[in-house]
Copies of this chain bind each other. A is one copy, B any other.
Amino acid sequence: MNVHDLLRELREPNDTKIVLLVADGLGGLPMEPGGKTELESARTPNLDACVREGVCGLSIPVLPGITPGSGPGHLGLFGYDPLQYRIGRGILEALGINFPVGDRDVAIRGNFCTVDSSGVISDRRAGRPATERCVAVCRLLQQIHIPNVEIFIEPVREHRFVLVLRGDELGDAVNDTDPQLTGHKPLEAHGADPASENTARIANQFIAAAARVLKDEAPTNMVTLRGFARYPKVQRMQEVYGVRPVAIAVYPMYKGLARLVGMDVPEAGATIADQVATLRKLWEQYDFFFMHYKYTDSTGEDGNFAAKVEMIERLDAEVAPIRALNPDVLIVTGDHSTPSKLRSHSWHPVPVLLWAATCRPDPVTEFGESYCLHGGLGQIQALHLLPLALAHANRLGKYGA
């Protein structure tokens, strides 16, 4: 039996409030053997207070050894099996620039590249043009028209853009046209089924038109297309869990992921303090609050251990005003680990704390990877956190008599 079907059956109405605070890339590693992680190094009196009253553990975003991107990482925290719900790269790219993808759309990631006079690719990224150049060349592509389909071109940055095809009967089982190697011509698009053949035919017309429009624009004189993807069919959190969810996020991709599962996505402000102010303002209107904090991930990606520690301490300072709102359940965790030592996302389990009045005590008194090993949640798959939150919020009935 599908867990969502089970939850839909068991859910009960209640006014209780759940806050899911996601510190992106929270988990880390020590820089030296015997050292501490970023979270263990940070002074976090407010998080530690939650830990002492709540229950801790380590969250496995997808499966042991699997490093998630932001999409699967967040879907898991929202209680959606990231192996069941797959979000194509084109969709993620579109969400990342806040493009309102719809049901009739196929979203595609485009790259500008350089081809020689025989059409062979000499640079797959067109010399990484400045983003202003990307914007200007996209404007040229926006002149392209193809019958029976609406075309949207949006610059992302450098050599990257988003192409959205809007029409009827458009499938997304289409190969990437990027040959992944220089010295080859772009591949032709092919569809694996009739609807995807429609998409492939349009994509090939688009590529041919782009070649004409861009022929004097070297090094950005050609395009490749990747990650053809339709908007995934996802049950809304409202229907599955019976909550009124809202996302309080700054960056477009996280807003897009939240919108995908049915969250409202109002303007949240630019800083975590703004986000907490937004939370306060929306407190009566909603009962499930997803707050996204980016800087634990970006400092980790920069390999800046000290900056990540500082970002964690800044986040900790905002935990007090969140607690002051008296949520019934507060979960603090990350969507994945981003150890400064690795300068990238990683597969390591992510520290998680769950605070509620109905937590069974565990011996953990500080928030940190090695302390969480002794926590009452044990090592838990991320997608089980949301049902636990609903249980502690007294929003689930008994299964079976």
* A contact residues vs B (CB 8 Å cutoff): 1, 3, 6, 10, 29-30, 33-34, 37, 53, 58, 62-73, 82-84, 86-87, 89, 92-93, 342, 345-348, 358, 360-363, 369-370, 373-374, 376, 378-380, 384-392, 396-401
Contacts and interface: CB of A to CB of B under 8 A. Distances in A.
A180 B73 CA distance: 41
A161 to B, nearest CB: 16
Nearest to A74: B400
Given A30-B361, A33-B53, A399 B66 contact: yes
A2 to B, nearest CB: 9
A49 B278 CA distance: 51
Contacts of A386: 65
A383 to B, nearest CB: 9
A29 B360 CA distance: 6
A3 B63 contact: yes
A109 B373 CA distance: 46
A359 to B, nearest CB: 8
Given A399-B62, A401-B92, A363 B370 contact: yes
Given A72-B400, A373-B362, A400-B87, A63 B345 contact: no
A229 B162 CA distance: 53
A53 B65 CA distance: 18
29 contacts: A29-B358, A30-B360, A30-B361, A33-B361, A34-B361, A64-B380, A64-B384, A65-B384, A65-B386, A65-B387, A67-B391, A67-B397, A67-B398, A69-B400, A71-B400, A72-B400, A73-B400, A82-B400, A93-B401, A345-B398, A346-B358, A347-B396, A348-B360, A360-B370, A362-B370, A363-B370, A373-B378, A378-B378, A378-B379
A376 B378 CA distance: 10
Most buried by B among A92, A380, A398: A398
A248 to B, nearest CB: 23
Contacts of A392: 65
Contacts of A68: 398-400
Given A63-B387, A387-B64, A399 B69 contact: yes
Nearest to A386: B65
A335 to B, nearest CB: 11
A88 to B, nearest CB: 9
A30 B376 CA distance: 14
A385 to B, nearest CB: 8
A370 B375 CA distance: 10
A374 B373 CA distance: 7
Nearest to A37: B360
Nearest to A91: B401
Nearest to A364: B373
The 7 closest A-B CB pairs, nearest first, are A65-B387, A69-B400, A65-B391, A64-B384, A65-B388, A378-B379, A72-B400
Contacts of A391: 65-67, 346-347
A206 to B, nearest CB: 23
